[in-house]
Chain A
Amino acid sequence: MSDDVNDTGASFDESQLSAYLDDELDAEERVFVEGQLADSPELCALLDDVSAARDAVRMLPTVDAPAGFWDRVLAGDAGDAGDDTNGDSNVVDLGEARTRRTGHGRRWAALSSAAAAAVFVAVVLVPHPTRVTPHLSDLTESHAERSSVQNDPVSNLAPVSAASAP
Chain B
Amino acid sequence: MTRRGFVRTAAAATLLALVASAAPTAVAENRAEALVRHARRVATHEAYTGVVEVYWQDQDHRRYVERVAARGLGGAFVVGRGDRRVIGHGDERLAQDGGSDVGWTAKAEHEAPAPDAAWHLKVSGSGIVAGRPVTFVEAQDRDGRARAVLALDAESGQLLERQILNRRGDIVRSVAFVQIVTGAIRPAVPITPDSGESAPVAVDEVPNGFLAPTTAHAGYELLGRYRHADGSVQLFYSDGLFTLSVFEQQGAVDWDRLPPGRCGPIADHRTCSYDTASGTIVVWSRDGLVLTAIGDAPSDRVVAIVGDFGDENDSGWTADIANFVLGPFGWD
A152 partner, pick from B159, B277, B295, beta carbons under 8 A? B159
Interface of A is mostly: helix
What residue in chain A is nearest B278 (Cβ atoms)? Answer: A159
Size category, A interface: 35 or more
CA of A150 to CA of B88, assembled, Å: 13
What residue in chain A is nearest B102 (Cβ atoms)? Answer: A141
Size category, B interface: 35 or more
A163 partner, pick from B39, B54, B224, B259, beta carbons under 8 A? B54
CA of A143 to CA of B288, assembled, Å: 22
| Cβ–Cβ contact B224 & A146, under 8 A | yes
From A18-26, A73-81, A126-134, give the one contacting chain B.
Answer: A126-134
Judge if B149 is at the interface, Cβ distance under 8 Å. Answer: no
Shortest CB–CB separation between residue A131 and chain B, in angstroms? 4
A142 partner, pick from B54, B104, B276, B296, beta carbons under 8 A? B104
On chain A, the residues within 8 Å of B274 by CB distance are 136, 165-166
A132 partner, pick from B66, B104, B108, B254, beta carbons under 8 A? B254
Judge if A160 is at the interface, Cβ distance under 8 Å. Answer: yes
CA of A133 to CA of B232, assembled, Å: 12
Judge if A139 is at the interface, Cβ distance under 8 Å. Answer: yes
Residues of B within 8 A of A (CB): 39-40, 43-44, 52, 54, 56, 64, 66-68, 70, 72, 77, 79-81, 84-86, 88, 91, 93, 95, 102, 104, 106-108, 112, 159, 162, 173, 175, 177, 200, 223-224, 226, 228, 234, 236, 238, 243-245, 247, 249-254, 257-261, 274, 276-279, 281, 283, 288, 290, 292, 294-296
Residues of A within 8 A of B (CB): 129-134, 136, 138-163, 165-166
25 contacts between A and B (CB under 8 A): A129-B250, A130-B252, A131-B254, A134-B247, A134-B258, A134-B283, A136-B274, A140-B278, A141-B102, A143-B245, A145-B93, A149-B91, A149-B107, A151-B40, A152-B40, A153-B77, A157-B88, A158-B70, A158-B175, A159-B56, A159-B278, A160-B86, A162-B54, A163-B66, A166-B276
